[in-house]
Amino acid sequence: MKADLEAKKAEQVRIVKQVQDQKAQLQAVRDQRAAREQQIAAIEAQFQRLLADMEAQRAALQAQIASLIHESFRARSSGKWKWPMDGVITQGFGCTSYPFEPYDPSCPSLHFHSGIDLAADYGTPVHASDGGIVHNFTMGCGWGGGLCGYGRYVVMVHAGGFTTLYGHLSSWAVGEGVQVDKDTVIGYEGSTGNSTGPHLHFEIDLAGMPVDPLAYLPAS
């Protein structure tokens, strides 16, 4: 009898310990899930802030480009565009599913890419697509914080109300306020700013609004 009682007590102790272990494992899983949920929430909040920043940057860029239109009468341009760099188009103009492009409710994918991306070897020379005046070149948050995502960039003003933007450069080859001819090297391809790899963001704006560069560039 005593041996049976001891055996039952030992079994009860084993069962209690097993239950306690299972409770501890369950609590650990709950803690891990809560930590993951907090981490996911933090990442989502950071992502939303980044999207808001990108949209603000784009709005600031559009406002600044619109303000340059009056300068276009001083620019000497041919009106015939050339490709700014030899490379492969990795992203086209228009609606895109890439979430880091500005929000656009008119797009089914809800995002819009305002230029084309050209990829080539790091440091490939970038040329002025047409003659014009170098209005702005900077690193990071130029124009009062409005261009953080473009890293090193060059903005040019051309005749006829056109402007061009060359983003993510590794370095510059021109100074601000200079009139340059078409095909002049203005910088070198890089991966500065909000970039996933070496490429050139090339943008043409007309009267302050982005237009498809492929409608102006010669057929490749």
CATH number, domain of 84, equals: 2.70.70.10
Containing domain of residue 157, as a range?
Answer: 62-215
Is 16 part of any domain? no
pLDDT over 70 at 6, yes or no? no
Is 160 part of any domain? yes
Is 49 part of any domain? no
Number of domains making up the chain = 1
What does the pLDDT look like over 132-164, one tens digit per residue?
A: 999 876 655 544 444 457 888 899 999 988 999
Is 43 part of any domain? no
Is 38 part of any domain? no
Residue with tokens 């560039």: 217
What does the pLDDT look like over 88-138, one tens digit per residue?
A: 999 999 888 877 677 777 888 877 888 999 999 999 999 999 999 998 766
Is 51 part of any domain? no
pLDDT for res 145: 40
Is 155 part of any domain? yes
**CA separation (Å) from 99 to 19, 31, 50, 96, 113?**
47, 31, 10, 8, 10
pTM metric for this prediction:
0.70
What does the pLDDT look like over 14-63, one tens digit per residue?
A: 777 777 778 878 788 887 888 787 887 777 777 677 667 767 766 776 67
Is 4 part of any domain? no
Phi, psi of 15 (to 5 degrees): -65, -45
